[in-house]
Structure 1
């Protein structure tokens, strides 16, 4: 359950909201007009979670907060808490609606958007970028990460022909690592940026979405070239991303 509250006097203009269900809740609070701070708390039972959530609500009301029924949960930026990390309640409602399977919040699944090192780092950079710049020129964010943060060659997913990818992979190294690894890192950065924009903002740039769908295809092709089994998880991400609409 989500409940939002506001407090305003001569010195303060603040918001506070809570989202509680199951065995955990998330709170987000701060000055109106800012993103505020996110916190998540977990409990042993759903009953204890609800009890503590209602206690917090009562405390806010006692301090003078009033319920804000017009709080726009969709027009808000969502960031995970540093202590808990990936979590549905610190993700945009549309992300949780379209991408509610466990792998989207799995920090250890290599074939998830944020479970591999490249994806996790990209989400971290993306959070900082959106805090400062919003979604300005976000379709070029993967290129900036690859070239400026990691000083590697940017390889956008423009060619999905298996034979051409085979030739590139078996050719001369272009970035100091195996070409197959370079392509996968590029794809992981593009994919993490796309899912990350939705997770934070509830929307995605059209060009970035196209790139992500192509990167998901290329990731599977490269893995097959390298002798790995076709990934159902990557297929699932592709299908879910294709269905997403702003």
Structure 2
């Protein structure tokens, strides 16, 4: 359950919302119209979680916060808690609604969007950058991250012909692997953070997964097929 509250007086205008269910809750708070700070807390039982959530809500109301039934949860930026990491409650509602498999919150599986070191670092970098630049151009970000921050060469997917990929990999396999992992992590990251996806980045993300499968030489795995299907079926153009 999500509930949002607003505090406003002559000196300040703040928001605070909580999303609680099961054995954990997330809170997001800060100056109104800011991204704010995200926190996650978990408990041994659902009863304890509910008790602590209601206690926090009561505390906010005593301080003068007023519930806002029309709070816009959709047009917001969502960033994981630094202390907790990947979590559905600190992901955009469109992401959690569409990407339901556990793999999207897996931080150890190399194939998962954010499971590899490259994928995890990409998401961390995206979240850090978007705090400074809410109008971040996600489409150009893979090239920027690879070349500006990591000092490697970004290799876009220009062909999925196995022979062409094999020939290029003989010279630049590491750069290609890094490029592919960062590209599809950025595509998923854009949705996780903003609830939107650039059509071009959708296309590039799918191609990156397919080329990585060619690089690894085992064909598309179950996880890779799942990611491709989910990326392609994500609604493009939502406001």
Q: Which residue of 2 aligns with 1:71?
A: 71
Aligned: 1:214 with 2:204: no
Looking at structure 2, the residues matched to 135 and 153 of structure 1 have their Cα atoms a distance apart, in angstroms, of 25
Aligned: 1:243 with 2:233: yes
Looking at structure 2, the residues matched to 46 and 82 of structure 1 have their Cα atoms a distance apart, in angstroms, of 24
Consecutive unaligned residues in structure 1, runs of 5 or more: 174-178
Looking at structure 2, the residues matched to 82 and 88 of structure 1 have their Cα atoms a distance apart, in angstroms, of 14
Note closer, same or farther for the CA distance 1:206–1:135 as it changes in structure 2 (3 Å cut). farther
Aligned CA-pair RMSD: 1.2
CA contact (8 A) 2:129 2:136 kept: no
Consecutive unaligned residues in structure 2, runs of 5 or more: none
Q: Which moved more, 1:130-139 or 1:104-113?
A: 130-139
SS at structure 1 position matched to 2:232: helix
CA contact (8 A) 2:210 2:220 kept: no
Aligned: 1:205 with 2:198: yes
Looking at structure 2, the residues matched to 80 and 229 of structure 1 have their Cα atoms a distance apart, in angstroms, of 32
- Alignment size in residue pairs: 236
Q: Which residue of 1 aligns with 2:97?
A: 97
SS at structure 2 position matched to 1:138: coil
CA contact (8 A) 1:14 1:29 kept: yes
Cα displacement (A) at 1:229 = 5.8
Cα displacement (A) at 1:230 = 3.8
TM-score (norm 1): 0.93
Aligned: 1:184 with 2:177: yes
Q: Which residue of 2 aligns with 1:125?
A: 125
Give 1:165-176 correspondences, 5 Å limit.
165-170=165-170, 173=171
Q: Which residue of 2 aligns with 1:23?
A: 23
Looking at structure 2, the residues matched to 104 and 167 of structure 1 have their Cα atoms a distance apart, in angstroms, of 32
Looking at structure 1, the residues matched to 18 and 100 of structure 2 have their Cα atoms a distance apart, in angstroms, of 19
Cα displacement (A) at 1:136 = 3.8
Give 1:107-146 correspondences, 5 Å limit.
107-146=107-146
Looking at structure 1, the residues matched to 83 and 51 of structure 2 have their Cα atoms a distance apart, in angstroms, of 22
TM-score (norm 2): 0.95
Aligned: 1:194 with 2:187: yes
